[in-house]
């Protein structure tokens, strides 16, 4: 029996969590090719090709290291390649994932200064600027920001963070997690002067989980020479050396690299700008549905609205988890749960990856039917409001 059909419900499952996103057939078929010799000549061709393609997705001419590991590992790689025990990092707690990254840093022996938010917007650039300005001694070794906060649906403005660092003439490295942002919302590793960009395979890249990335600036590379945190699996140096000829220092996740190669093709065939516009449009349609239902979008700053997912707050006294369970059972759709302080208070709608207008309408219709089925008070017609918006802009 297929794993995704433990009970028989007709129609393909709607996987509308904010990642993993639905893996398109074309990528599943690529992954389904026989595993090849990762030391043979054909692999070198594949390796070089895929390493070049992924640079275009990160908009960088600098190395992108690919780990055969899921995204959390690439967080660790960003930290342990650039920092030493006791180093101080300025982090912005935009939500649950920023919180987890901070927790990880702590476990690795890094001291973290926290810029708090109310979890309803992106990184607070002004506070970052203030903290950096105050840090005359340059004790802060890095600023770490989550680009697209998957727990709240807020997208931080990385170029502004860069400017704040530059304006403060602060030498701190800029570390950015765009695990759920890459290939869904514009991202520019080089232009924005990011030192380490962290990402993963299972969101905008439309792959199953199992690959993660560090795009690395020259400044970060230089920092890695003096960084004292122990590292081996995550070490950039042998990776970048082996990548020069298309190979990897230890066994890569070969079949996912087939998929990555195809994923890059699909994104470039559609055109990255078209991909981003599509996500923006779907996010706006979703917010219109949410407001029509009479509910609140978790993100309150329109400049930070995420094109990738929308986090929806439920009216007081109603359980978001019960709603999600109803929708899963009756309408065969998975939605994201509320994380941390949002647990049971909010749910998240992923509208990312290989996703078109009709998928969005199915999704929003499912939410609306679920609200009714679960007895959550709402104003009917949200799906239609989204449809009206999509039609006017189609």
Q: Which of residues 305-364 bind a copy of itself (CB under 8 A)?
A: 328, 330-334, 336-337, 354-359, 361-363
* Cβ nearer to a copy of itself, comparing 132 with 390: 390
Q: Binding a copy of itself by CB under 8 A: which of 63, 73, 153, 246? A: 73
Min CB(43)–a copy of itself separation in Å: 9
Min CB(127)–a copy of itself separation in Å: 26
* Cβ nearer to a copy of itself, comparing 104 with 111: 104
- Binding positions for a copy of itself, 158-217, rule CB under 8 A: 200, 202, 208-210
Of 384, 329, 327, nearest to 360 by C-alpha is 384
Min CB(229)–a copy of itself separation in Å: 7
Number of residues that bind a copy of itself (CB under 8 A): 110
* Cβ nearer to a copy of itself, comparing 40 with 171: 40
Instruction: Establish whether the linkage from the previous residue to 20 is cis, with ω within 30° of 0.
Output: yes
* Cβ nearer to a copy of itself, comparing 171 with 230: 230
Min CB(74)–a copy of itself separation in Å: 9
Binding mask 20-59 for a copy of itself (x = CB under 8 A): x-xxxxx-xxxxxxxxxxxxxxx--xx-------------
Residue 91 touching a copy of itself (CB under 8 A): no
- Binding positions for a copy of itself, 92-111, rule CB under 8 A: 104, 107-109
* Cβ nearer to a copy of itself, comparing 172 with 207: 207
* Cβ nearer to a copy of itself, comparing 219 with 233: 233
CA distance 215 to 336: 28
Of 157, 187, 203, nearest to 348 by C-alpha is 203
Residue that the structure tokens 């917007």 belong to: 121
Min CB(11)–a copy of itself separation in Å: 3
Q: Which stretch binds a copy of itself (CB under 8 A): 51-59, 70-78, 152-160, 298-306?
A: 70-78
- Token pair for residue 341? 């302080």
Residues 6+ apart with CB under 8 A from 362: 14
Task: Yes or no: say if 292 and 382 are a contact pair by the CB < 8 Å rule.
Answer: yes
Residues 6+ apart with CB under 8 A from 228: 84, 85
Q: Binding a copy of itself by CB under 8 A: which of 12, 116, 138, 303? A: 12
* Cβ nearer to a copy of itself, comparing 41 with 302: 41
Residue that the structure tokens 């299972």 belong to: 202
Neighbours of 28 (CB within 10 A): 15
Task: Yes or no: say if 272 and 355 are a contact pair by the CB < 8 Å rule.
Answer: no
Q: DSSP label at 323?
A: H
Q: Binding a copy of itself by CB under 8 A: which of 76, 124, 177, 195? A: 76
Min CB(318)–a copy of itself separation in Å: 17
CA angle (303, 170, 190) in 5-degree steps:
60
Residues 6+ apart with CB under 8 A from 2: none
- Token pair for residue 311? 């986090």
Distances (CA, A) of 243 to 67, 77, 232, 249, 379: 12, 17, 16, 8, 55
The SS3 assignment for 335 reads strand
Neighbours of 127 (CB within 10 A): 15
- Binding positions for a copy of itself, 214-273, rule CB under 8 A: 229-233, 235, 250-256, 258, 261, 266, 269-270
Min CB(133)–a copy of itself separation in Å: 31
Q: Binding a copy of itself by CB under 8 A: which of 114, 159, 272, 369? A: 369
* Cβ nearer to a copy of itself, comparing 103 with 301: 103
DSSP 229-253: S--STT-HHHHHHHHTTT--SS---
């Amino acid at each position: 029996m297929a794993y995704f059909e433990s009970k028989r419900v007709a129609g393909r499952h709607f996987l509308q969590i904010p990642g993993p996103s639905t893996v398109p057939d074309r990528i599943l078929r690529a992954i389904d090719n026989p595993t090849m010799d990762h030391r043979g000549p054909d692999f070198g061709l594949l390796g070089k090709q895929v390493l070049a393609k992924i640079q275009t997705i990160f908009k960088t001419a600098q190395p992108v290291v690919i780990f055969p590991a899921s995204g959390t590992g690439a967080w660790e790689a960003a930290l342990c390649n650039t920092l030493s025990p006791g180093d101080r990092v300025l982090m912005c707690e935009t939500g649950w994932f920023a919180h987890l990254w901070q927790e990880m840093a702590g476990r690795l022996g890094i001291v973290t200064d926290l810029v708090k938010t109310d979890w309803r917007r992106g990184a607070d650039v002004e506070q970052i600027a203030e903290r950096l300005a105050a840090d005359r001694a340059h004790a802060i070794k890095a600023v770490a920001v989550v680009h697209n906060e998957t727990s709240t649906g807020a997208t931080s403005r990385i170029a502004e963070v860069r400017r704040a660092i530059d304006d403060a003439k602060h030498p701190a490295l800029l570390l950015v997690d765009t695990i759920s942002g890459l290939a869904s919302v514009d991202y520019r590793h080089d232009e924005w002067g990011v030192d380490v960009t962290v990402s993963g395979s299972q969101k905008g890249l439309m792959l199953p989980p199992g690959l993660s990335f560090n795009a690395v600036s020259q400044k970060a590379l230089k920092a890695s020479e003096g960084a004292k945190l122990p590292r081996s699996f995550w070490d950039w140096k042998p990776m970048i050396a082996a990548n020069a000829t298309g190979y990897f220092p230890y066994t890569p996740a070969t079949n996912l690299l087939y998929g990555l190669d195809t994923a890059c093709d699909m994104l470039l065939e559609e055109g990255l700008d078209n991909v981003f516009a599509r996500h923006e449009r779907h996010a706006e349609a979703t917010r219109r549905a949410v407001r029509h239902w009479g509910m609140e979008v978790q993100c309150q700053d329109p400049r930070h609205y995420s094109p990738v997912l929308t986090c929806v707050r439920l009216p007081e006294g109603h359980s978001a988890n019960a709603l999600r369970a109803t929708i899963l059972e009756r309408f065969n759709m998975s939605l994201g749960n509320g994380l941390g302080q949002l647990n049971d208070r909010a749910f998240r709608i992923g509208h990312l990856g290989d996703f078109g207008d009709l998928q969005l309408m199915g999704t929003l219709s499912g939410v609306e039917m679920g609200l009714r089925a679960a007895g959550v008070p709402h104003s009917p017609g949200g799906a239609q409001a989204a449809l009206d918006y999509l039609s006017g802009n189609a």
